[in-house]
Homo-oligomer: A and B are copies of this chain.
Amino acid sequence: MVRNHVLSKIEAGEWAEGARIPSETQLVDLLGVSRMTVHIALRDLSAEGVLVRRQGAGTFVAPRRSQSTFLELRNIHDEIEARGNRHSTEVLKLETVFCDLALATELNVPPGSAVFHSVLLHRENDRPLQIEDRFVNPRFSPDYLEQDYTRITPNVHLMAAGPLEEVEHVIQAVPADDTTRALLDMATGDPVLLLRRRTWSRGMIASSARLLHPGTRFSLAGRMRVAR
């Protein structure tokens, strides 16, 4: 109850980032519950990174930046939904191309062979967050082009097409070209965070993707316990 109240206030924008929220005793009067109940709820939200609490000073809305975990292979849909936001996809390209030498090497297929190519734009609450530029090995997923990617992500389809065996990630910071800047709604001079991801399945390279993110409002994050 306290939790929902706080989250909805933040969601609605009434309590902005960095703003101080009512004290525990004020929330007690407001919601008619005991202080411990309020305390536990705020404590949990603090542990989750939604709030920041400072003893003696007050409770504040934590600054939020879109984050993606790179340790797990979650698809962007789940990432966004997990943050309580709305995910939507726009299909920009869905085609067959014949690969040049570089692409052939990248996918480990013969040069000139046909491969599938898709370009999607993912939005978080209508704000563009990722361009997903993907090449897929047709031998791995022959029906890749027939899917409705406004409903499922390519990730989901590919995971269903075969067991994931190996993943390769390369992360880079690159300047934004004009097309990218326009699509991602970025300011001039802002950099792009580029995540290249190749996946192996059934002994072949199933897919190679370039995931482009606006550097100013996106970061990759991961936290792990070290082996004991």
Contacts and interface: CB of A to CB of B under 8 A. Distances in A.
A173 B191 CA distance: 6
A91 interface: no
A221 B170 contact: yes
Contact of A215 (B71, B169, B191): B191
A101 to B, nearest CB: 8
Interface string A84-109: 00000000000000000000010000
Contact of A70 (B40, B66, B71, B163): B71
A73 B226 CA distance: 10
> Dominant SS at the A interface?
strand
Interface in A212-228: 213, 215-216, 218-228
A150 interface: no
A225 to B, nearest CB: 5
Interface in A109-162: none
A58 interface: no
A32 B189 CA distance: 55
A19 interface: no
A220 to B, nearest CB: 4
5 contacts: A11-B228, A40-B40, A170-B219, A172-B219, A173-B174
